[in-house]
């Protein structure tokens, strides 16, 4: 594989959005190879690529991503942001600083209902009233998440969103597209600019007073049912060296 045309994607190959993106990239003349998110990439693997799409990152992949950065292989989302946002607490603080409303956090179980979370994004899934490293205030709301996504294609930041059932209560199911709230889109674009991101997702819930609360930030977003495949394709191409 020629390193001047090679793109490696840390993502399961059967994921619907990124399989479509890979096909678009191949049609544009690029060579694309998928790696399982828990793969330990060797220096030989990294030498084959001019860009690695670190769509989903596990601890086992971090040494390879550090090696890629040291040796000049571009990363789609920058390594500093990947490391920072692997911490859920850092992610919540960043969301707050960018203008999002965020729930209270404590390290002891609250008297009222709460969401238990692990410190890192690769820990167990958040659990309603369960055991965790920290505890996030449960915002009284319908069991629905509002997912906002941003993709930076190098010239503009595309924003899209959707409604899904909350995984705290049942299996996640797509409910429909949403009308983007300008204030939330502004905060999301500010997050992209501040941390030099290429792609990011933010999970929000809507409280009883129709205020939106950001509860998670995700650099491993799936972008499903958003129509952002063309923007993702352009974002990856624009991240290639010399573009």
DSSP string, the chain: --TTTEEEEES-TT-HHHHHHHHHHHHTT-EEEEE-TT----HHHHHT-SEEE-SS--GGGHHHHHHHHHTT-EESS-HHHHHHTTBHHHHHHHHHHTT-B---EESS--SS-EEEE-SBTTSSPPEET---SEEEEPPP--SEEEEEEEEE-SS-EEEEEEEEE-TTTS---EEEE-PPPHHHHHHHHHHHHHHT-SEEEEEEEE-TTS-EEEEEEETT---TTS--HHHHHHHHHHTSTT-
The length of the chain is 243
Q: Residue 169: inside a domain, yes or no?
A: no
Q: Nearest-CA neighbor of 94 among 8, 197, 20?
A: 197
Are 84 and 90 in contact, with CB atoms under 8 Å apart?
Answer: yes
CA distance 225 to 227: 6
Q: What is the mean pLDDT of the chain?
A: 92
Determine, yes or no, domain membership for 200: no
Note whether residue 57 is domain-resident: yes
State how far the Cα of 204 lies from the Cα of 214, in Å rounded to an integer. 4
Task: Answer for the pair 46, 34: CB distance below 8 angstroms, yes or no.
Answer: no
In percent, how much of the chain has pLDDT > 90?
Answer: 77
Average pLDDT over residues 227-243: 93
Listed residue (148, 152, 173, 174) closest to 161, CA to CA: 148
Phi, then psi, of 220 in degrees rounded to 5? -110, 35
Token pair of 15 as six digits: 């994921």
Range of the domain at 52: 6-80
pLDDT value at residue 5: 67
**139 part of a folded domain:** no
Q: What's residue 238's pLDDT? A: 95
Number of structural domains in the chain? 1
pLDDT at 3 > cutoff 60: no
**CATH number of the domain encompassing residue 62:** 3.40.50.20
| Confidence label for 220 from pLDDT (cuts 50, 70 and 90) | confident
- Residue range 87-97, pLDDT digits in tens: 999 999 999 99
Alpha carbon distances (Å) from 122 to 33, 92, 113, 218, 231: 23, 16, 23, 11, 27
Q: Characterize 147-166 residue by residue with b for buried, 16 or more Cβ atoms within 10 angstroms of its Cβ, and e for exposed.
A: bbbbbbbeeebbbbbbbbbb
Q: Using one digit for the tens of pLDDT, what is the confidence trace for 111-154?
A: 999 999 999 998 889 999 999 999 999 999 999 999 999 999 99
Q: What is the 3-state secondary structure (H, E, C) of 13-44?
A: CCCHHHHHHHHHHHHCCCEEEEECCCCCCCHH
Residue 15 forms part of a structural domain: yes
The reply to whether 97 falls in a domain is no
Reported as a pLDDT band with limits 50, 70 and 90, residue 172 is confident
For residue 188, tell me if it sits in a domain: no
Residue 40 lies inside a defined structural domain of this protein = yes
């Amino acid at each position: 594989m020629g390193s001047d045309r090679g793109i490696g994607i840390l993502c399961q190959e059967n994921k619907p959005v990124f399989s479509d993106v890979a096909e678009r990239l191949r049609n544009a003349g690029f060579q694309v190879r998928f790696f399982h998110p828990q793969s330990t990439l060797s220096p030989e693997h990294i030498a084959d690529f001019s860009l690695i799409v670190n769509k989903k990152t596990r601890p086992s992949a971090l040494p390879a991503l550090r090696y890629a950065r040291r040796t000049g292989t571009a990363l789609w989302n920058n390594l500093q942001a990947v490391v920072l946002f692997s911490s859920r607490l850092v992610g919540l603080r960043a969301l707050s600083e960018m203008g999002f409303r965020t729930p209270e956090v404590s390290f002891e179980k609250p008297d009222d209902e709460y969401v238990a979370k692990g410190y890192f994004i690769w820990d167990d899934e958040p659990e309603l009233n369960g055991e965790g490293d920290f505890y996030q205030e449960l915002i009284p709301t319908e069991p629905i998440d509002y997912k906002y996504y941003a993709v930076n294609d190098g010239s503009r930041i595309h924003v899209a969103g959707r409604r899904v059932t909350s995984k705290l209560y049942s299996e996640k199911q797509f409910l429909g597209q949403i009308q983007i709230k300008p204030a939330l889109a502004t905060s999301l674009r500010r997050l992209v600019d501040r941390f030099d991101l290429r792609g990011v997702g933010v999970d929000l819930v809507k409280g009883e007073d129709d205020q939106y609360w950001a509860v998670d930030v995700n650099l491993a977003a799936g972008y499903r049912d958003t129509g952002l495949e063309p923007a993702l394709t352009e974002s990856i191409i624009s991240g290639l060296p010399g573009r």
